[in-house]
Structure 1
Amino acid sequence: MKFYQFEEILAWQKAQDLAVLIYKEFSSVKDFGYKNQIQNAVVSISNNIAEGFDRMSDKEFVRFLYISLGSCSEVKSMLYLGNRLNYLEESISKMLIERANEVARIIRGLIKSLSLKD
């Protein structure tokens, strides 16, 4: 599939959705270091997809997609920690981790399709 704008990319859309959920769920958390870290990580997912897309080469795009994958893992790690610290209910934590896994699966599929073009 050919994309003309990064906003058309499902991975970017789902990453933005995840960011909104994370921001809302952690809005009342008083641990500002934790909150800042998870918010920066979740925003990094969609930002790297957008930045990589506009590099105009598949090789560069794939490099930024791998960075997005790393940010997905960071978000998941922070969610596990947040759950252990009782910053959110376990059911919410599981839902957010599932969403992060979905984003990661979509990114991996995009990487695979771009890599096959080489």
Structure 2
Amino acid sequence: MAENFEKLECWKKCFELKKVIKEQILSNLPDSEKYDLHSQLLRSSRSATANIAEGWGRYHYKENIRFLLNARGSVAEVLDHSIEANDCGYIKNEVLEKIREITDSCIRLINGYIKYLRNQNELKS
């Protein structure tokens, strides 16, 4: 297991997603979306990395997996909000496609980490 959650590939990719959201979407949203779409996107992108970190800090692998599942849900939420931003004309199709690629990668990495944790537990049994 990684010595620090920052070493986890899934955390790194979700952190990249959070940076892209901040740089390419949040700055393009109108003031009227400050407490709606802006807030939702910021919270869900922060939630993904925070849940991975919190899960890593838990003692039991089942707790870690529960937080990883929450992180995966937050990544899906980021994609949903990004689709909404595109539909409203706040971001271009190219930005949405970049978000799709990163969220797909985040989910694959989170799923891989979940599988790894489950396998490690089976080896101990």
TM over 0.5: yes
Distance 1:46 1:95 in 2: 19
- Equivalent residue number for residue 17 of structure 2: 18
RMSD: 0.9
Task: Tell me which amino acid in the other structure corresponds to 2:97.
Answer: K
**What CA distance in whole angstroms lies between the structure 2 residues aligned with 1:100 and 1:12?**
12
> Secondary structure, in 3 states, of the residue corresponding to 1:64?
helix
Alpha-carbon offset, residue 117 of structure 1: 2.2
Residue number among 56, 63, 72 corresponding to 1:60 in the alignment: 63
| Structure 1 unaligned blocks of 5 or more | none
Deviations 1:43-75 (CA, angstroms, capped at 9, x unpaired): 100000000100122111100000001001101
In the alignment, which residue of structure 1 is the partner of 2:78?
A: 75
The residue number in structure 2 matching 1:98 is 101
Aligned to 2:8: 9
TM-score, with structure 2 as normaliser: 0.90
Structure label with greater radius of gyration? 2
1:57-97 Cα offsets, whole Å, 9 max, x none, are: 21111000000010011011111111100110001111111
Residue of structure 2 in register with 1:28 after alignment:
28
Q: Give every structure 1 segment of 4 or more consecutive aligned residues whose post-TM-superposition deviation is greater than 3 Å.
A: none
